[in-house]
Amino acid sequence: MLRGAFIVIEGLDRSGKSTQAAMLVSRLEGANVPVKLQKFPDRTTPIGKMIDAYLRSESDLDDHTIHLLFSANRWELAAQLEETLKAGITVLCDRYAFSGIAFSASKGLPYEWCRAPDRSLPAPDLTIFLDIAPEKAMERGGYGDERYEKEEMQRKVRELFRRMEEEITKDTHGVVGAWTTIDASQDKEAVAQDIWQVVEPLTDGCSNVIRRLW
């Protein structure tokens, strides 16, 4: 039996990740492809609750500490994620390790230090990066009150995502699967159509072993 495909949707805040993840789940289900949606951070676990309090500025944490908690939140769900893939179910993640690196490194933590804790997590087969200019994303109802939703920070985050795209495309930094960038400033249906073009080839499942991050 083929395993499910592991697909990640990444992007700046307000780029439309959750909107597109929901649309893609419907489309996959409509095509009879079993799929599980996983969101990171998963705010429901004990670690997720600490992350949630931090993001809503109800608690303060050292930059290193919150970085490790975001990674731990992925690790605590990694075995389950892998089992789901092996059961032939496609897993769609709304954010993953790439957000972890981009957001922490944008605060000034060393890039290599930020990459380290996510090493050997299951690697996605495909990462879809929803690209949008921060000023355009801001127009979408404005950023909320969460800690990272500020234009200057989002600008740095975008640069870091671009750096990762370059490294992954040139394969200078180990195995991470394919990366595709999609113009997220289009209307929802157009973005969904672009996403379907890259996802459809994966709907039959994958025969290769699940790879590991860098």
> Residue 16 CB: number of other CB atoms within 10 A?
23
Tell me which residue has its CB nearest to Na ion.
18
Cα(184)–Cα(83) distance, integer angstroms: 31
For binding to Na ion (CB under 5 A), which residues are involved?
17-18
The three-state DSSP-derived secondary structure of 38-54 is EECCCCCCHHHHHHHHH
Return the closest-CA partner of residue 69 out of 84, 55, 85: 55
- Note whether 40 binds ligand T5A by CB under 6 A: yes
Give phi and psi for 6, each to the nearest 5.
Answer: -105, 110
Report yes or no: 203 and 31 within 8 Å, Cβ to Cβ. Answer: yes
Q: How far is the CB of 94 from Na ion (least distance, A)?
A: 6
- Note whether 4 binds ligand T5A by CB under 6 A: no
Cα(56)–Cα(43) distance, integer angstroms: 12
- Note whether 106 binds ligand T5A by CB under 6 A: no
Q: Which stretch binds ligand T5A (CB under 6 A): 13-21, 85-93, 164-172, 194-202?
A: 13-21
Buried b (16+ CB within 10 A) or exposed e, 122-149: bbbbbbbbbbbbbeebbeeeebeeeeeb
CA dihedral over 142, 64, 60, 108, signed as positive or negative: negative
Binding-site size, ligand T5A (CB under 6 A): 22
- CB nearer to ligand T5A: give 77 or 202: 77
- CB nearer to Na ion: give 110 or 144: 144
- Note whether 150 binds ligand T5A by CB under 6 A: no
Contact positions with ligand T5A (CB under 6 A) in 155-184:
none
Q: How far is the CB of 188 from ligand T5A (least distance, A)?
A: 4
- Note whether 119 binds ligand T5A by CB under 6 A: no
Question: Which of Na ion, ligand T5A, none has residue 191 at its interface (CB below 5 to 8 Å by kind)?
Answer: ligand T5A
- Note whether 16 binds ligand T5A by CB under 6 A: yes
Site residues (vs ligand T5A, CB under 6 A): 11, 13-19, 40-41, 55, 70, 95, 99-100, 103, 140-141, 148, 187-188, 191
